[in-house]
Structure 1
Amino acid sequence: MTGRYFEDWSLGDTIVHPIRRTVTETDNLLMSTLTHNPQPLHLDAVYAKGTEFGQVVVNGTFTFALMVGISVAETTLGTLIANLGYDQLRMPKPVFIGDTIRVETEVTAVRPSGSRPEAGIVTFTHRAINQRDEIVCSCARTALIQRKTS
């Protein structure tokens, strides 16, 4: 399924995305180094072992990006004009190397664009969930979506 047009969305629509992803050490290392994040909690196993977590914690920006990325195919692929914002970002549980993440999305707002008649605005609430059914990340994503052409 590809992304939907504005008219195809309704308040309360829910998607359980089919892709799941097991987080690897390489994922965490690449995200941390590519973004120049030297946090030892993400990169130093000896340091991390001495923390309350007892192990390396996956960089939260990776978790956020993975969550949004998994959602794209069934939400905005080919119909997105622009992401207008990400709000209410929460990370209530840590992600560890080896965790498997799945994503669910709910539509929490739908409205026509006031300035662009060829588009509408859809707000998605994304939730990333680990193999223990714990929410590890959530956010609201507001997207400017194409309308169907007449």
Structure 2
Amino acid sequence: MLHYEDIVIGTKSSYGKYEVTREEVIEFASKYDPQPFHLDDEAAAQTYFGRLSASGWHTGSMAMRMMVDNMKVNQQAGLGSPGIDELRWLKPVYPGDTLRVEHEILSKRRSKSRPEMGSFVGRTTVFNQNDVAVMTMVSTGLIRVRHPEVVGD
């Protein structure tokens, strides 16, 4: 199981494969982001997107699914996240796209008030099947410290 002590700044990983379907784009948008360009071909054709596109929030949700699936495989001692510092939707995501994730560890630190916990900051980039970045985010993850009694990094 991956703990704070195992995290190495600069480590990069690549994982996931998520096939975006028309049905899911419309279903997600209907529930959470019911703007016409996420629901209707004709309305979408009149916009910047040019055709039906996934909500940015849907893209984030698909990325999250790939991240959680990766954490299950690599058994991370994760404790959640206090949030996202930066989120950018760079390019539209369309039905028929296949997404994947690349992640890089930018920094890490031990909690001063909770010795059993550490945090790390990572940059996540979501790519489509053409290796075009469609979304980026910088977020903080919380993770268990394997040996909280040991002082320091």
User: If the length of structure 2 is used for normalisation, what is the TM-score?
Assistant: 0.87
Match of 1:58 among 54, 62, 67: 54
Alpha-carbon distance change, 49 to 58 in structure 1, aligned in 2, over 3 angstroms: same
SS at match of 1:128: strand
**Gapped runs of 5+ residues in structure 2?**
149-153
Aligned to 2:27: 30
RMSD, matched Cα: 1.8
Identity %: 32
Alpha-carbon distance change, 4 to 25 in structure 1, aligned in 2, over 3 angstroms: same
Aligned to 2:151: none
Structure 2 distance, partners of 1:82, 1:115, is 17
Contact 2:30 2:39 in 1 (8 A): no
Alpha-carbon distance change, 147 to 117 in structure 1, aligned in 2, over 3 angstroms: same
Aligned to 2:87: 89
Aligned to 1:47: 43
Aligned to 2:139: 141
Structure 2 distance, partners of 1:31, 1:142, is 26
Aligned residues: 146
Aligned residue type for 1:45: D
Contact 1:68 1:126 in 2 (8 A): no
Q: CA deviation at 1:29?
A: 1.9
Structure 2 distance, partners of 1:78, 1:111, is 17
User: If the length of structure 1 is used for normalisation, what is the TM-score?
Assistant: 0.89
